[in-house]
Structure 1
Amino acid sequence: MILYPAIDLKDGQAVRLVHGDMKQSTVFNDDPAAQARSFVEAGCSWLHLVDLNGAFAGTPVNAAPVEAILKACDVPAQLGGGIRDMATIERWLDQGLARVILGTVAVENPDLVREAARAFPGQVAVGIDARNGKVATKGWAEETDVLVTDLAKSCEDAGVAAIIYTDILRDGAMGGPNIEATAALARAVSIPVIASGGVSSLDDLIALKETGVIEGAISGRALYDGAIDLASALSALAD
């Protein structure tokens, strides 16, 4: 199982939110590229980046720190937040991003997901962010009536590389991931599923791995707070 250290970008800084609330943000590093380098030096094989401002604005806002991270690090990175048209997708992939994450547009414009996945095989993921089983969009600010499993199944034949499933009520709260719901989603679709939200200990990571169906896990606050030692976690997951 791949562990993706998370760098959430707000106003050019690496931050963590609680439950996706922009008013509940903690700045962990004002140099996101340096933060990324520290994760790479610890041995990570991927980075997970989120443009938080972009998710609300609907267009990239933290392009400069993302570009700095891509220049500073030699591991693949995936990015979500404010990516809602083909021009933005192409621009990010041309700049060296390994994978774009489409969230809001997966609900509002599913044809774009299919078009992008066909144009860029293996480089388009869908981010499904959920509150009480229903998909939320626009930086988690708007809740829809779309069920998580329905959206995931609609992507089955689109050529999507992965689904990043975030339980919003667990995110940043250090209360543990929603293993049951994530594993159920992974069993319901053939697309690889990456767990996000609430990963707060090595035990959480091992429990996700032991489901046997979850492809990866994203962790943020636990790495910044020291609750998870990245090098130790990577070693444990490799065993």
Structure 2
Amino acid sequence: MTHDPPTDSDTGVISVPDDGPFTVYPAIDVRDGAVVRLLKGDYEQETRYTDNPVAVAENYARSGAAWLHLVDLDAARAGGYTLGSTLTRIVETTGLQVQTGGGVRSEDDVQRLLDAGATRVVVGSLAVHEPETVAQWLHRFGPERITVALDTRIGPDGTWMLPTAGWTSVGEQELTATLHRYQGSGLRHVLCTDIGRDGTLSGPNFHLYTMLTRSNPALDVQASGGARSVDDVRTARKHGCAGIILGKALLEGRFTVAEAVREESV
């Protein structure tokens, strides 16, 4: 006799038992020095919250966060990471471990961010276009120092494609095929954003993350895009994710970092 795998009553997605640590990553996206959120990655649909990203990071640290996800939106589109001094201040004043990226194009860029205090460097566009290069970085710096960001948008044929350059370039690479190119590289940390849900507060795409975690069990997948509640944090863990990025929901007070962090050890 066979039995159907369990599904979550709210999402209809196959549940993957969580068997490892889970991390909450409060996110700070910075553009022109201000903390902002974009809607679905559109630079023309921006909401500004404050001109003091360090103060936001300090608040998250006081609320119990251990990690921060810091994004340089200007650099993501144009290249050339600009938040080095902000990164260093955040690390020195909060003690947070910081995962950060935007415009990382070379090995020197990776080293510069690590020297400025980053715990992990996020590589996006180059990870899509030059996986062999990023595989070399994984070998040099180690898999705990690199996060590959594969931000995706579903195409008309149902295929998950990978826009680049701060999501402004349409892209011709496909999600699962790109991940396949990293086999044997030592890649561990993958951040996957459903662009269509980013900044919408419509809930994460758990179908996407269940597909990724079931087909790539050796990877620690971070869910990103659409989180709106503590229930979304709980469900991300239930469906096999190793972490979740929390942006707009925290900035707009939908729930607190302290409430989210409690789900790390449940």
Q: Which bin holds the TM-score, normalised by the shorter protein?
A: over 0.9
Secondary structure of 1:174 counterpart:
coil
- Equivalent residue for 1:204, pick from 218, 223, 232: 232
Equivalent residue, structure 1, for 2:257: 230
Shift of 1:209: 1.2
DSSP 3-state at the match of 1:6: strand
1 or 2 for the larger relative contact order (CA 8 Å, sep ≥6)? 2
Determine the C-alpha separation between the residues in 2 that align with 1:84 and 1:71.
26
Say if 1:51 and 1:62, in contact at 8 Å, map to a contact too. Answer: yes
Alpha-carbon distance between aligned partners in 1 of 2:44 and 2:89, rounded to the nearest angstrom: 26
**Pairing 1:89-100 to 2, within 5 Å after superposition:** 89-100=110-121
Secondary structure of 2:170's counterpart equals strand
1:125 to 147, 159, 178: 147
Q: Give me the TM-score of the superposition, normalised by structure 1.
A: 0.96
Please give the alpha-carbon distance, in whole angstroms, between the structure 2 residues aligned to 1:156 and 1:199.
29
CA apart distance, 1:236: 3.1
| Structure 2: gaps spanning 5 or more residues | 1-21, 155-159
1:137 corresponds to which of 147, 164, 167: 164
Offset, 1:13:
1.2
Q: Is the 8 A contact 1:98 1:123 kept in 2?
A: yes
Gapped regions of structure 1 (runs ≥ 5): none
Q: What TM-score, normalized to structure 2?
A: 0.86
What amino acid maps onto 2:152 in structure 1? A
CA contact (8 A) 1:123 1:161 kept: no
2:43 to 19, 22, 25: 22
Alignment map for 1:145-224 (pairs within 5 Å): 145-189=172-216, 190-211=218-239, 213-224=240-251
Structure label with greater radius of gyration? 2
Residue 35 of structure 1 aligns with which residue? 56
* Residues 125-168 of structure 1, C-alpha deviations (whole Å, 9 max, x = no match): 10000010101100001122211111122223212230000000
Could you tell me whether the CA contact under 8 Å between 1:33 and 1:65 is conserved in 2? yes
8 Å contact 2:221–2:242 — kept in the other structure? yes
- AA partner of residue 236 (structure 2): L
Q: What one-letter code is carried by the residue in structure 2 that aligns with 1:215?
A: A
- Deviation of the 1:19 alpha carbon: 0.5
Q: What is aligned with 1:12?
A: 33
Q: Does the aligned pair in 1 maintain the 2:28–2:70 contact within 8 Å?
A: yes
Q: CA deviation at 1:179?
A: 0.7
Q: Is the 8 A contact 1:33 1:68 kept in 2?
A: yes
1:47 aligned to 41, 61, 68, which one? 68
Alpha-carbon separation, structure 2, partners of 1:82 and 1:10: 13
Provide Cα deviations, 1:87-141, integer angstroms capped at 9, x if missing partner.
1101111121100011100122222211111111110110000010101100001
Q: Distance in 1 between matches of 2:136 and 2:49?
A: 37
Q: C-alpha distance in 2, partners of 1:25/1:163? A: 26
Match for residue 105 of structure 2 among 47, 60, 84: 84
Q: Aligned Cα RMSD in Å?
A: 1.2
Mean Cα deviation higher: 133-142 or 179-188:
179-188
Deviations 1:173-195 (A, max 9, x none): 11000011112112111211100
Matched letter for residue 82 of structure 1 = G
1:95 aligned partner, one-letter code: A
Taking the aligned partners of 2:139 and 2:174, their CA distance within structure 1 comes to: 25
